[in-house]
Copies of this chain bind each other. A is one copy, B any other.
Amino acid sequence: MWRLYQFPLCPFSRKVRLLLGEKGVPFELVREDPWAASDMFFNLNPAGRTPVMVHAEQELVLSDSRAISEYFEETVDAAPMINGPAANRAEIRRLVALFDENFYADVTAPLLSERMKKRIVLREPPDSRMLREAMRLAHGHLDYMDWLIDTRPWLAGPTMSMADLAAAAQISVADYLGGIDWSGHEQTRGWYSVFKSRPSFRPLLTERMEVIRPPAHYAEIDI
């Protein structure tokens, strides 16, 4: 049985959970808070980051959410998520990087810092300018997603792919932290609403981080 080291608001762990759910790979969760990572955890992953997947019987330790995604894509045939000709696969991976790196740096990371780390760990008030800037940048990313969804059935092309899972994972954390203003983004709202109804997504939406509560619409499928 695979064990996934993660914490509830880690967007990269969420991306892996969505992938494993879509592929039907069973796993159990192990909580690992980023502000209290143990020596054991650093031994598993010198980068000190979630997600890490461990299969004790097979003596396998996998780190980095993209390396983990490629591993399950290569070893589990069900629900291919990096598919099509090489150019399509490059487009999927480009968008995964855009959400993992740009959306995360612009939106998810500042929200996690201001609304999770400051509240739970540092016990400082959030910086309202940082929050406003993150929400402003979120609109830019949602505009780009609106455009993609206007031109394609799914974000990277004709079928659901890792690009959709990466985007949904980031948005779900940003939405949990109250950082997504859906007004003016009907296309992306429709795409996300379809996503939220998938069985792979339900366990994420019902999970709660202690202390921090999501807005009322967070787990609703019809937002």
Q: A60-B87, A66-B66, A71-B86 are in contact. Are A46 and B98 (CB under 8 A)?
A: yes
Task: Decide if B47 touches A70 in the complex (CB within 8 Å).
Answer: no
A213 to B68, CA, bound (A): 40
Report the interface size class on chain A.
20 to 34
> 1/0 per residue A50-89: CB within 8 Å of B?
0000000000101110111011001100000000001101
Interface secondary structure of A, over-half rule:
helix
A124 at the interface (CB under 8 A from B): no
Assess whether B46 is in contact with A97, with CB atoms less than 8 Å apart.
Answer: no
The answer to whether B46 touches A68, judged by C-beta atoms less than 8 angstroms apart, is no
Interface 1/0 per residue, A101-126 and B, CB below 8 Å:
11000000000000000000000000
Which residues of A are in contact with B by a Cβ distance under 8 Å? 46-47, 60, 62-64, 66-68, 70-71, 74-75, 86-87, 89-91, 93-94, 96-98, 101-102, 144
